[in-house]
Structure 1
Amino acid sequence: MRTFFAAAAARPEVRYLFFGGVNTAFSYGLYTVFLLALHALAVPGDFLWATSLSWLISNATSFVLQRKFVFRSTRGVTREFVKFSSVTFGSFLANIALGAFAVGVLGLTTASEKLVSQLVITVVLVLATYVLHKFFSFGSPSVDAEVLGTSAVERGPDDSFGSQDDETDATK
């Protein structure tokens, strides 16, 4: 059983699901607190404010978790933070647009309807941001970068496919 968990933890997709899940729960919790408070106060655009406030706080947390534990990056932190934030800001804008659609077009105006719609929006955006973070924010320029659970094949010095490390890569 320990071997199974070790193998699963070696996969960036599994780490992303775990740490992304932790941060998503944290962010959704923030959103819930902000939305319920703002909704109770009848603040216009309560979901916009709740989304914005929760994003500002959880963006930094998400960056640290993903950089350190998911993608295990050691490159320039400032450059990666800018790239990461551009992806999450795009996700934030998509979240705002989808939230506005849910409220304005679908008529989901109660606090509970907004909470459910935010859950659906979150699932969609988690999938999209994983791909963007994997290949853009923390993507390695090397030829042998992992591609959604499969490894790219590097050409050897004699132009044949593979390398001396093929056996070790396969056993990871």
Structure 2
Amino acid sequence: MQTMKKIQFVFALFLVTGLIAGMVVAEEIKSGLQEGDYVPAFHVTKAGGAQDDGKPDGWTGCYRCYLGNKPVVMVFARSTDENLAKLVQEIDETVAANSDKKMASFVNIIGKDADKAAKSAKAFAKKHEFKNVAICVAKDLPNGPEGFAISPDADVTVMTYVNGKVKDNQSFGQGKVDGKGIASVVAGTKKILNN
């Protein structure tokens, strides 16, 4: 009888462990270009931020092309909430601290409604006044540029690249950008700075 209870306990333990592992895996979102992928050109309209980057608000063009082979933190976001603001503020400070390495960053607001995305991007840029991060609206909506594989389940996708090659990719579901995630994104920038 005791052996049967042990077997039931071990089975229940495996079942619970499997369920927990399944929940963790379910929260991981694969979104965007992956490590080693080449970052192709795409067009955006600048809504604000990065006032000293040589591109005025309202400029339409290819930031990827403009930034060339520099180390870049590129973000695609569906919402402009305070979680995104905290992430972008940390990126802004990281870019400033690495200006000697010509580090740059731009955030691309995406979504189903182009007018709503543009208004949201402008308000976000104006409210937070990021000095080193350009806030843009991607021309390709609702999921960003074709071929970038931005998941509809990802609220925020961060790709860091240098010399046109992705070195790090991190994605977050709605409301999942937290202190740990922000620290992970900032740590991931080391991959583009130590080349």
What TM-score bracket applies, with the shorter chain setting the length?
under 0.3
User: TM-score when scaled to structure 1?
Assistant: 0.24
Which structure has greater strand proportion?
2
User: TM-score when scaled to structure 2?
Assistant: 0.22
